Chains A and B, each alone.
Chain A
Amino acid sequence: MQTYEGGRYDVIVVGAGHAGSEAALASARLGQRTLVLAISLDLVAFMFCNPSIGGPAKGHVVREIDALGGEMGRHIDETYVQMRMLNTGKGPAVRALRAQADKHLYSLRMKAKLEAAPNLTLRQAMVTDLLVEDGRVSGVVTRTGAVYRAKAVVLTTGTYLGGRILIGELAYDSGPNHTQPATELAERLRALGFRMMRFQTSTPPRIDGETIDYDRLEEQPGDPEPEFFSYETTAPRPEPQLSCWLTYTRPETHAVIAANLVRSPLASGAIQSVGPRYCPSIEDKIVRFHDKPRHQIFLEPEGRGTREVYVQGMSTSLPEDVQIQVLRSMPGLERAEMMRPGYAIEYDALDPTELWPSLMTKRIEGLFTAGQLNGTSGYEEAAGQGLLAGINAARYVEGKPPVVLGRDQAYIGVMIDDLVTKGVDEPYRLLTSRAEYRLLLRHDNADLRLTPLGYEIGLISEARYRRFLDKVRQIEAERERLLTVRLRPDAETNARLAEAGLPPLENALTLSDLLRRPDVTYDALARLFPPPEPLPKAVREQVEIQIKYEGYIAKLLKDVEKQHKLEHKRLSPSLDYGAVYGLSTEGREKLMKVRPLTIGQAARIPGVTPADIAALIVHLEGRRTIEVGRHG
């Protein structure tokens, strides 16, 4: 293939899925000339699987993306067809928002944003080669012969990399949704020495919504007064929300699947790659949980402009004819017309211990990776990494130190730390239970956690930052008021309390003492003892949570402080572990592979023992002593 010079950029983003879009927008907004190359421009930020964003942990990530100045939060607020707050009764840390998206609108609008963004160029091209000079990335080559040069490259190849689709006995090389797979790039990464893994995931069939018998199904409407992902969104979409619908598998369903297991590459063992435990195919569910009499199946609209409906809970690699039988065995779907079959897809992913916490590869300077390529699954996980990879690619070009989020700071921090420290052996999904400081990482306080950082990085505008500071001031002022206003147990006060259905006081109390009682809500309290000016909902909620859970929050903050002492002991990325006296063989091997940047990170590597950590500390301190001796 005859090549030609396509142009010079600061940052090239390969892929325009959920990771690529965030990476590209961040890099361009930070002033870097950014080129985005996507295999198909018709599938920018396309939802190849479920038409939904958010949920526990994932929704938290979307809020974090928004708080840092990323796009996903605003974007889903503009394109949702349904919005629901989940876990409302289970505590502040785990409340989470989930949206159903109009997936076509979502994709189209994201494409428009990329097109409109200053400093950003969008091209359709398949990258087949990476240019590397002296261990640094210097550009990419496309299948059509263009050579683009750049100081940093962000790979976000999703399931395109080495993709292969399986439907029953049928198997063929393909990207998601029967697109072109990126085969040469996969080979190139292997040739560069990267440790690669073969992962697998699957998606359910889509059916024609007009052929569903809704009368027989349970309806799941959206919240009448929806909340939003972005801290900046103030008003709901004008269109009425669409509902989701719930049905169940039946014994007949299970029988059909059982009878056809041999024809499923997932269940028959024809697929050797590793699939996610948390997203089993329907055949997997029947095999592993054969005692369970029925499984839930959610029917989710894919958008306003289409009749296609996503059959959540029925991911499968069964042959097409079996999929139809399975569908029609379920209540409400007896007449269902399948519009596209589900399929399983295998793809190449990078062992994420190949990465620094900045998401730059250790092998090649200036090369960043994000999303499914790093062994994760999920749009939100991808977008969170994409944002950080975009930020850090831009900062790398500018010679600035990378932004690394702590485990006590963000779910994005938990995720990236898990990836680069522990590696993965199956597609990684964020769960709130992965966060040890869950009560600190709430979705209501993502802005308090991250917006100052977003401002510092340069992704939060002055105007937004001022609004944020106003909110902080309001929270502080109201907390101060609740802490200082004291109530006396006199007749008048007790009468007012009684009116509101609250027990009388026995001793003098501050308003915050009162709020700490389980039966007192902020709104009830504020009705009796109102603040000088009415406060927005977000402020009221924040004040309530901060005061009610103060004791628990303080307890976690103490843990965080201890952990910080270890995170502040830095290790050199080029530390020669061969020269550290007294490491165990396994510990040395693991440390050499991961090359942790702090003692805290080192201690989280599986297989590194406390004795190894002691050896590391002795080594560090010993060297320091010797250096001090030499210079002093």
Chain B
Amino acid sequence: MFIEETIAAVVTPLGEGGVAIIRVSGSEAIRVAEPLFRGRRPLSGLKSHTLAYGHVVDPESGAVIDEALVAVMRAPRSFTREDVVEIHVHGGVLVAKTVLSLVLRQGARLAEPGEFTLRAFLNGRIDLAQAEATIDVIRAKSEAALKAGARALQGAFGAQVRALKAGLLRLTAEIEVHIDYPEHDAPEATYVRIVEGLTDARASLESLMRAAAQGSVLRDGVETAIVGLPNAGKSSLLNAMLRSERAIVTDVPGTTRDLIEAPFVLGGIPLLLVDTAGIRETADVVEAIGVQRTREILERAALVLVVLDGSRPLTAEDASLLHAVRGRTAVVVVNKADLEVTVREDDVRSLAPSLPIVFVSAKTRSGFEALEAAVLSVLGFDAAARPETLVTANARHLELIRRAHAALDEALAAAREALPYDVILIDLRRALGALGEILGEDVRDDVIKEIFANFCLGK
């Protein structure tokens, strides 16, 4: 932070379909944005404070990403008092994310939380009172970013980063130990071994890069299991959310027998809704397989919507299902609120103490705002953590993974040339540093810890 680099970020809240603005600020802003813009004239030829219509393209493939309006504001008459380019696109989360990553690839750095405002302050654009407000914004944003980052790290992505980092750390320690303890009797890390280790690490980074580029959450959506007893109205709920007759609805219990998947964007967050077979003991072979699948997805889903039939008293099966989702990211949906409701909120609460409970009708679509709010809240998207923080977290990860990859490339080149260990380690440790940054860890001490944990050293 605070170094005169050109920075970029998505600066508008991202919702479904709304306009997103990607802001680039710094002395290189125009150079960075130029190759992405195809309009009637180049950005460098635009007058300050004018909007130009054109398209955002991927400069490498030439593919058109979206229509765009681009504003150029030259220093010092801009928010940050630096050269600023703002790219307005309207394709929603994914387009904004793509444009941001293209801007970063042109050499901009992802802005730290609140950094635009901070620059505005440092460049004398705003006064102290406003600046103190800036601090609050920075604090709120960095907390939101931290949360979003942490969330992204909970899943498979985080596990992969951790595994990769552990592998590189081991390799680093293996080389370092012989530098700081030249007489140690552990086998020397040979060039063959180093090249092998670096090649493996680079391959895993590449697969990570693909995963992060797609931003698994943003691409696939949060896997959301809709579960409940037969006839609770799960399929009806799915259809009502999608506003389409995606699943078959009948009054026969056991209608749905297989998983039905459907992507759906809720308050800007992409979900992957999965309707399931109602849970019950059954002699029907096909249905039994369906129920088994329900149990599997219930295990692994990131979000669970437990659907109860509000027009009937709670059953022992309902109770055991609620018990099973305790402590999970879940919302209890009491359905059929248009009928006479016999299920009492207190009874549900006593079975699932910490989960939000909403009353809805799949038939009349009543209670859906409350459902949306409850889902966003259990996913951790409060006011401070809107989807753009997820995009940012994702963009940051991607940037850091790229950095790690570039560093590993160089380390590998050095190792192949059999350059000295200390030279190879420069880039190896850079890669490690970037992975550590993803996880929010200081790797310098990690290397030393790793050395002493794995090798018996000393006099």
Residues of A within 8 A of B (CB): 49-50, 55-57, 86-87, 89-94, 96, 204, 276-280, 285, 288-289, 292, 295-296, 298, 312-313, 315, 431-434, 436, 438-439, 518, 549, 552, 555-556, 562, 565-566, 581-582, 584, 599, 606, 609-611, 613-615, 617-618, 621-622, 625-626
- Selected A-B contacts with CB under 8 Å, 25 pairs: A50-B459, A86-B183, A90-B178, A90-B182, A276-B458, A278-B457, A295-B456, A298-B183, A312-B459, A315-B458, A431-B180, A432-B176, A433-B176, A433-B179, A433-B444, A438-B422, A438-B426, A439-B422, A439-B423, A565-B3, A611-B139, A613-B1, A615-B138, A617-B122, A621-B121
A91→B418 CA distance, assembly (Å): 10
- Given the complex, which residues of B lie within 8 Å of A618, measured CB to CB? 118, 121, 131-132, 134-135
Q: Which of B183, B425, B458 has most A Cβ within 10 Å?
A: B458
Would you call A91 and B135 a contact (CB within 8 A)?
Answer: no
* Complex interface residues of chain B between 126 and 151 (CB less than 8 A to chain A): 127-128, 131-132, 134-136, 138-139, 142
Task: Say whether B179 contacts A432, CB under 8 Å.
Answer: yes
Shortest beta-carbon distance from B334 to chain A in Å: 41
Contact B131 A622 (CB under 8 A): yes
Whether a CB of chain A sits under 8 angstroms from the CB of B359 is: no
CA distance A91 to B428 in the complex (A): 15
- Indicate with 1 or 0, residue by residue over B170-191, a CB within 8 angstroms of chain A CB atoms: 0000001011111111000000
- Do the beta carbons of A611 and B113 come within 8 Å of each other? yes
Question: In this assembly, does B317 line the interface, its C-beta being within 8 Å of a C-beta of chain A?
Answer: no
- Which of chain B's residues 105-132 have a Cβ closer than 8 Å to chain A? 112-114, 118, 121-122, 124, 127-128, 131-132
What chain B residues lie within 8 Å of A566 (beta carbons)? 2-3
Number of residues in B with C-beta < 8 Å to the partner?
48
CB-nearest residue of chain B relative to A52?
Answer: B459
> B426 to A439, Cβ gap below 8 A?
yes
Q: B222 on the interface (CB 8 Å rule)?
A: no
> How far is it, in angstroms, between the C-alpha of A463 and the C-alpha of B183 when the chains are bound?
39
Chain B residues near A315 (CB, 8 Å)?
458-459
Query: Would you give the shortest CB distance from B210 to chain A, in whole angstroms?
Result: 28
**Which chain B residues border A56 with CB–CB below 8 Å?**
179-182
Residue of A nearest to B419 (CB): A518
- Decide: B422 and A94 in contact? CB cutoff 8 A: yes
**Which label, helix, strand, loop or mixed, suits the secondary structure of the A interface?**
loop
State whether A94 touches B456 (Cβ < 8 A).
Answer: no
Please indicate the chain A residues that have their CB under 8 angstroms from the CB of B452 in the complex: 277-278
Given contacts A280-B458, A288-B456, A565-B3, contact A91 B180 (CB under 8 A): no
Q: Which residues of B are at the interface with A, using a C-beta cutoff of 8 A?
A: 1-3, 112-114, 118, 121-122, 124, 127-128, 131-132, 134-136, 138-139, 142, 176, 178-185, 417-423, 425-426, 442, 444, 447-448, 451-452, 456-459
List the A side residues contacting B121 at CB < 8 Å: 618, 621
Q: How far is the CB of A453 from chain B (nearest CB, A)?
A: 24
Instruction: Determine the distance from Cα of A436 to Cα of B180 in the docked complex, in whole angstroms.
Output: 14
Asked if A614 and B118 make an inter-chain contact with CB atoms under 8 angstroms apart, the answer reads yes
Closest 10 CB pairs of A and B: A91-B420, A582-B135, A91-B422, A93-B422, A289-B456, A86-B182, A279-B458, A622-B128, A277-B452, A90-B421
A296 CA / B423 CA spacing, docked (Å): 29
- For B2, the chain A residues whose CB sits under 8 A away are 565-566, 599, 613-614, 617
Flag if A606 contacts B442 (CB, 8 Å).
yes
Kindly report which residue of chain B lies nearest to residue A583, judged by CB atoms.
Answer: B135
Contact between chains at B420 and A92 (CB < 8 Å): yes
A582 to B452, CA, bound (A): 38
Q: Which residue of A lies closest to B121 (CB)?
A: A618
Give the residue name and chain of the A residue nearest to B449 (CB). A277
Residue of A nearest to B132 (CB): A581
Question: Could you say which of B1, B3, B124, B451 contacts A614, with CB atoms under 8 Å apart?
Answer: B1
B178 touches A552 (CB 8 A): no
Give which listed residue, B3, B135, B180, B447, contacts A57 with CB less than 8 A. B180
Q: Roughly how many angstroms separate A548 CA and B263 CA in the complex, as a whole number?
A: 56
Would you call A433 and B451 a contact (CB within 8 A)? Answer: yes
Of chain B, the residue at the smallest CB distance from A289 is B456
Contacts beyond the supplied A86-B183, A622-B132: 8 A-B pairs with Cβ under 8 Å: A86-B182, A89-B420, A90-B178, A204-B459, A292-B456, A434-B448, A439-B422, A439-B423
Bound: A68/B136 CA distance, A: 47
Question: In the docked arrangement, what's the CA distance between A379 and B113, Å?
Answer: 45
B274 to chain A, nearest CB (A): 38
Known: A433-B447, A433-B451, A518-B417. A621 touches B139 (CB 8 A): no
Interfacial chain B residues near A288, Cβ < 8 Å: 456
Q: Which residues of B contact A584 (CB under 8 A)?
A: 139
- Given A87-B179, A615-B135, verify A610-B3 contact (CB < 8 Å): no
Q: Report how far A86 CA is from B183 CA in the complex, Å.
A: 9
- Neighbouring A residues of B456 by C-beta, 8 Å: 280, 285, 288-289, 292, 295
- In the assembled complex, the Cα of A280 lies from the Cα of B444 at a distance in Å of 22
In the assembled complex, the CB of B435 is this many whole angstroms from the nearest CB of chain A, namely 16
Residue of B nearest to A437 (CB): B426
In the complex the two chains form, is A91's CB within 8 Å of B182's CB? no
| Interfacial chain B residues near A611, Cβ < 8 Å | 113-114, 135, 138-139, 142
Flag if A582 contacts B139 (CB, 8 Å): yes
Cα A625 to Cα B121 with chains together (Å): 10
B135 proximity list for chain A (CB < 8 A): 581-582, 611, 614-615, 618
Residues of B within 8 A of A91 (CB): 419-423
Q: Which residues of A contact B131 (CB under 8 A)?
A: 618, 621-622
- B426 to A555, Cβ gap below 8 A? yes
B182 pairs with A87, CB closer than 8 A: yes
- CB-defined contacts of A615 to chain B, threshold 8 Å: 135, 138-139
The distance from the CB of B231 to the nearest CB of chain A, in whole angstroms, is 51
User: Could you tell me if A552 and B423 are in contact, using CB atoms closer than 8 angstroms?
Assistant: yes
Q: Which chain A positions have C-beta within 8 A of B181?
A: 56
Residue on A with the closest CB to B425? A438
Give Cα A438 to B172, complex, Å: 15
> A556-B426, A621-B122 known; A431 and B142 CB under 8 Å?
no
CB distance from B415 to the nearest CB of A (A): 12
Residue in A closest to B114 when the chains form the complex, CB atoms? A614
- B173 to A, closest residue via Cβ: A433
B422:A431 contact, CB within 8 angstroms: no
Name which residue of chain A comes closest to B113, CB basis. A611
Closest to A518 in B: B417
The residue from B128, B132, B180, B444 contacting A582, defined by CB atoms under 8 A apart: B132
Verify B458–A549 contact, CB threshold 8 A. Answer: no
- A599: shortest Cβ distance to chain B, in Å? 8
Contact A434 B444 (CB under 8 A): yes
Distance, CA A296 to CA B118, complexed state (A): 56
Among B113, B179, B423, residue most surrounded by chain A Cβ atoms (within 10 Å)? B179
Contact of A433 among B122, B448, B457 (CB under 8 A): B448
Bound CA span A622–B124, Å: 10
Which A residues touch B444, using CB under 8 A?
433-434, 436
Contact of B179 among A90, A279, A285, A289 (CB under 8 A): A90
Please report the C-alpha to C-alpha distance between residue A87 and residue B121 in the assembled complex, in whole angstroms: 51
Are A614 and B138 neighbours in the complex by a CB distance under 8 Å? yes
A72 to chain B, nearest CB (A): 19
Contacts A433-B447, A434-B444 hold; do A313 and B459 have CB atoms under 8 A apart?
yes
By a CB distance below 8 angstroms, the chain B residues around A312 are 459
Please name all residues of chain B whose beta carbon is closer than 8 Å to the beta carbon of A94 when the two chains form the complex. 179, 420-422
Asked if B458 and A278 make an inter-chain contact with CB atoms under 8 angstroms apart, the answer reads yes
* Chain A positions within 8 Å of B459 at CB level: 49-50, 204, 279, 312-313, 315
Q: Hey, which chain A residues are within 8 Å of B138, CB to CB? A: 582, 611, 614-615
B142 surroundings in chain A (CB, below 8 A): 609-611
Query: For residue B178, which residue of chain A has the nearest CB?
Result: A90
Q: Which residues of B contact A92 (CB under 8 A)?
A: 420, 422
A588 → chain B closest CB, angstroms: 13
**Chain A residues, CB < 8 A from B185:** 296
Collect the chain A residues with CB atoms within 8 Å of residue B451's CB: 431, 433
A625 contacts B421, C-beta separation under 8 Å: no
In the complex, which of the residues A90, A296, A626 has the most CB atoms of chain B within 10 Å of its own CB atom?
A90
A518 to B131 alpha-carbon distance, docked (Å): 54
Closest chain B CB from A115 CB (angstroms)? 31
